[in-house]
Amino acid sequence: MPRCDQCGNEYDKTFQVMKDGRTWTFDSFECAIEAAAPRCEHCGCRIVGHGVEKGGVFYCCAHCAGQEGVHELRDRA
C-alpha cells in the first residue's frame, strides 16, 4: 500500500505532487502543503495561494513584503 512521504501513513487513496523535478506521495492536502508549500519570509506562514515573490524570496502578501523592505510588490486581485 502507498505511504505518505510526509507523515508515513499507509493509505490506498494517496496522490502524487510533482515540483522542481521531485515527486512526492501524500495521503492528504494537509501533508502536501506542509511538505511542498513555501513559507513567507516575514511571518513564516505556509503560502497556499499565489503569494508574491521578489528575487526568489517568497511572501504571503504585499504587506509582509513591505515589512521586509520590498515595497514595489502588489497583491493580485
| Whether 76 and 51 share a structural domain | yes
CA distance 6 to 39: 16
Structure confidence at residue 77 (pLDDT)? 64
| Whether 42 and 56 share a structural domain | yes
Q: How many domains does the chain have?
A: 2
Q: Please give the average pLDDT of every successive group of 10 residues along the chain, which has 77 residues.
A: 97 95 96 96 96 96 96 84
**pTM for the full model?**
0.80
Domain that holds residue 69: 37-77
| Whether 50 and 68 share a structural domain | yes
| Whether 72 and 43 share a structural domain | yes
CB 65 within 8 A of CB 75: no
| Whether 30 and 18 share a structural domain | yes
